[in-house]
Amino acid sequence: MATIGWIGLGNMGGPMTANLVKAGHAVRGFDLSPAALTAAAASGLTPATSIADAVAGADVVFTMLPRGEHALAVYLGEGGVLESAAPGTLLVDSSTIDMDSARKLHDAAAEAGFRFVDAPVSGGISGAEAGTLTFMIGGDPASVAAASVFIEPMSANIIPTGAATTGQAAKICNNLMLFINLAGAAEGAVLADRLGLDKQVFWDIASVSSGDSWALRTWYPVAGVVPSSAANRDFAPTFTAELANKDINLAVAAANATNTPLEIGEHVQQLMQRLIDAGEGARDCSAIVKLVDGTLGE
């Protein structure tokens, strides 16, 4: 079994590493948060004292960090992965980050003699726990194939996307559609209610009709319809409005760089920003429904 170095043991990294440990790998992990480190150690991970400690002797190094700036710091910073790992080590960034940062990481890793792939994931915390994430992986085919072997215990779907940064591109475009669909489900749900439809009857129709979407089936923002919806728990987060806003902003930035008009995406980004400005940033992104039903601030 392999020795795996892992940086970033938060909501996603913690359960992802637990599945690698279950598969028999020796995982050495580092996180700036002592609480995250302790929680991961309870699942069998060996806590490391630094990035250098985590990557020493690793066959492969994974990173699962919030944003591009964190990934750049962890790879390129003093005492970072490129400085500390043995040259030639396979590096896998599974964070959701901007296209520019993804490109910088690929270039810097190649220049320093490392194999690097961008391998963001979809499936949320429940998918991380169940080992059923979808991985979308960009990079040279040999490195993608090598990374897939280690990714297998964490995933239900492993999809090579093509050249460097295309995994990140797929993730950004997927999440753009997700949040547009969520906003659509919120508007449809509230209007249906005001037109006198029973919430369950309307959901039963939409979920087998052309209004269907993953957001509708999983995050339907009305309490008492879909068990996995945060609306049942006063919008306690499964995916925060802050994180959703970050992801839509990645799409908006990529659209600006490619002269792509994202009129709907930009509008949904503004809705998420309004939620955050109203103090709801740490709540679930499906609280976007509050902008439709008039309960914002209640």
Q: Which residues belong to the active site?
A: 171
Question: Within 10 A of 113 (CB to CB), how many other CB atoms are there?
Answer: 11
Q: Residues 98, 104, 108, 113: what is their CA dihedral angle, to the nearest 10 degrees?
A: 60
Rg of the chain over Cα atoms, rounded to whole angstroms, equals 20
SS3 186: helix
Decide: 37 and 13 in contact? Cβ < 8 Å: no
Question: Within 10 A of 198 (CB to CB), how many other CB atoms are there?
Answer: 10
> Least distance in Å: CB of 121 to ligand NAD?
5
Surface-to-core class of residue 208, CB atoms within 10 Å of its CB (0-12 exposed, 13-18 middle, 19+ buried): exposed
SS3 95: coil
Looking at the Cβ atoms of 124 and 221, the one nearer to ligand NAD is 124
How far apart (Å, rounded) are the C-alpha atoms in residues 139 and 134? 16
Looking at the Cβ atoms of 12 and 55, the one nearer to ligand NAD is 12
> Least distance in Å: CB of 49 to ligand NAD?
12
Looking at the Cβ atoms of 122 and 229, the one nearer to ligand NAD is 122
Looking at the Cβ atoms of 238 and 292, the one nearer to ligand NAD is 238
> Least distance in Å: CB of 94 to ligand NAD?
7
Looking at the Cβ atoms of 14 and 139, the one nearer to ligand NAD is 14
How far apart (Å, rounded) are the C-alpha atoms in residues 119 and 96? 9
Note the residues at the interface with ligand NAD (CB under 6 A): 7-13, 30-33, 36, 64-66, 70, 73-74, 95-96, 121-122, 124-125, 239, 243
The closest residue (CB) to ligand NAD is: 10
> Least distance in Å: CB of 66 to ligand NAD?
5
Structure tokens at 127: 């998918």
Looking at the Cβ atoms of 7 and 206, the one nearer to ligand NAD is 7
Structure tokens at 234: 């006063």
b/e sequence 236-261, b meaning 16+ C-beta within 10 Å: ebbbbbbbbbbbbbbbbebbeeeeee
Q: What is the DSSP letter of 278?
A: I
> Least distance in Å: CB of 266 to ligand NAD?
19
> Least distance in Å: CB of 293 to ligand NAD?
24
Ranges of beta strands (E only) in the chain are 3-7, 26-30, 46-47, 60-63, 90-93, 115-118, 121-122, 133-138, 155-162
